[in-house]
């Protein structure tokens, strides 16, 4: 059974003089959910996390945990675990003492402390490391200790602020999978802060994209990626081609950058034109697009980037602009070269209309 709590931000704001860090934010995180706050530096995501933790007082609004207003409740009484990027381990304490610290602060009985510390260390795979000092551990091991310390008192809510930012790529990828496993086993609500789009897509049940102190879009990872609601969302998460859709007299709609017609549906409010988002992996050679409605156009390969399993191409189109597209390497020697002419296409459903702003 889920032990996590429902977390709500109701019209929460935070001002620093004339600077608005968070502006009237309304969010609801369900019990047991892995919910990620994603956005660039200064978007308000860490400010929201710190207000939930009780480190910062909101300028307005209310924060609720399981329906209880905790806005004015001290941090230590909120039953929240916290994991930081820099681990924040006590260097003079061994692993077991570090993990036991929250329980001792809560005056737990010695037998309870021993039992819960053992369980937390076993969960993160460090049962044999109880007597090691932090300076004897690798970065990944120190982060596991920090996670064990954050969950040892069985919090209803676990907050994680860029917890993998100090790790190298391979270790970060491995820790992503481990964090999901920990959450599944302890059943708490996880609210996770990152600016790493791939990390957010991998870990989350739902994502909120933040910009300038406000939520831009909320949804599950596939919806956020496949159906961005704004240009900011489309460009921030993953790669995309932003194309201009213009009305052409007696010819319907026209994609300016491609010099090609567009026969798909266009938002009713866009009489002056619209924007389209098309992911690079949705653009392919025209003979591979198959039957059905599609946008077809000619281009000349301008640049190739080798990325191991894929080639990422930049191609110049008849309209004078460039688009990006990707192809998986087949090993058949059919990679394109700079200067090659190529017929490209994408299916109509791959083009996502966006507001002009």
**Which domain, by its residues, includes 42?**
7-232
What is the distance between the alpha carbons of residues 186 and 120, in angstroms, rounded to a whole number?
10
Task: Retrieve residue 189's tokens.
Answer: 């609500």
Among 197, 232, 267, identify where a domain stops: 232
* Residues forming a β-bridge with 304: 313
Q: How many domains does the chain have?
A: 2
Cβ proximity of 294 and 347 under 8 Å: yes
Residue 248 and residue 104 in one domain: no
- Classify residue 302 as exposed, middle or buried by CB count within 10 Å of its CB (0-12, 13-18, 19+): middle
Residue 273 and residue 323 in one domain: yes
Task: Write the DSSP string, 128-197.
Answer: GGTT--GGGS-HHHHHHHHHHHHHTT--SEEEEESTTTTS-HHHHHHHHHHHHHHHHHH--EEEEEES-H
What is residue 1's predicted lDDT score, i.e. its pLDDT? 40
Of residues 135, 113, 137, the one with CA closest to residue 124: 137
> Model pTM?
0.88
Residue 213 and residue 272 in one domain: no
Average pLDDT across the chain, whole number: 89
pLDDT tier, 222 (very low <50, low <70, confident <90, very high otherwise): very high
Residue 187 and residue 272 in one domain: no
- The answer to the question of residue 1 being in a domain is no
Say which CATH number the domain at 78 has.
3.40.50.300
Residue 20: phi and psi, rounded to 5, are -100, 110
Residue 148 and residue 23 in one domain: yes
* Lowest model confidence (mean pLDDT) among 86-95, 126-135, 149-158, 179-188: 179-188
Among 193, 212, 232, identify where a domain stops: 232
What is residue 172's predicted lDDT score, i.e. its pLDDT? 80
Residue 281 and residue 334 in one domain: yes
Is residue 117 scored above 50 in pLDDT? Answer: yes
């Amino acid at each position: 059974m889920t032990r996590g709590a429902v977390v709500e931000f109701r019209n929460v704001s935070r001002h620093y003089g004339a600077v608005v860090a968070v502006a009237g934010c309304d969010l609801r995180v369900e019990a047991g959910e892995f919910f990620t706050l994603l956005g660039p530096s200064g978007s308000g995501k860490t400010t929201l996390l710190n207000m939930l933790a009780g480190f910062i007082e909101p300028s307005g609004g209310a924060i609720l945990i399981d329906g209880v207003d905790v806005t004015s409740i001290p941090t230590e009484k909120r039953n929240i675990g916290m994991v930081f990027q820099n681990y924040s381990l006590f260097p003079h304490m061994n692993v077991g003492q570090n993990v036991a610290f929250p329980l001792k602060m809560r005056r737990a009985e010695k037998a309870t402390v021993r039992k819960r510390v053992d369980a937390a260390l076993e969960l993160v795979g460090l049962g044999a490391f109880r007597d090691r000092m932090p300076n004897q551990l690798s970065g990944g091991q120190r982060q596991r200790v920090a996670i064990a310390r954050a969950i040892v008192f069985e919090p209803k809510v676990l907050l994680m602020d860029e917890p993998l930012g100090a790790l190298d790529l391979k270790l970060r990828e491995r820790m992503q999978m481990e964090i999901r496993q920990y959450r599944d086993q302890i059943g708490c609500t996880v609210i996770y802060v990152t600016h790493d789009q791939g990390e957010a897509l991998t870990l989350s049940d739902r994502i909120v994209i933040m910009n300038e102190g406000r939520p831009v879009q909320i949804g599950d990872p596939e919806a956020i990626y496949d159906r961005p609601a704004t240009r900011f969302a489309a460009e921030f998460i993953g790669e995309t081609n932003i194309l201009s859709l213009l009305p052409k007299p007696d010819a319907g709609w026209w994609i300016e950058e491609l010099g090609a017609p567009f026969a798909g549906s266009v938002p009713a409010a866009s009489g002056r034109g619209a924007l389209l988002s098309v992911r690079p992996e949705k653009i392919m050679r025209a003979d591979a697009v198959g039957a059905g409605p599609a946008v077809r156009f000619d281009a000349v390969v301008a640049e190739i980037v080798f990325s191991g399993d894929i080639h990422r191409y930049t191609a110049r189109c008849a309209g004078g602009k460039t688009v990006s597209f990707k192809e998986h390497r087949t090993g058949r020697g059919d990679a394109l070269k700079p200067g090659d002419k190529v017929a490209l296409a994408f299916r109509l459903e791959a083009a996502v209309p966006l507001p002009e702003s």
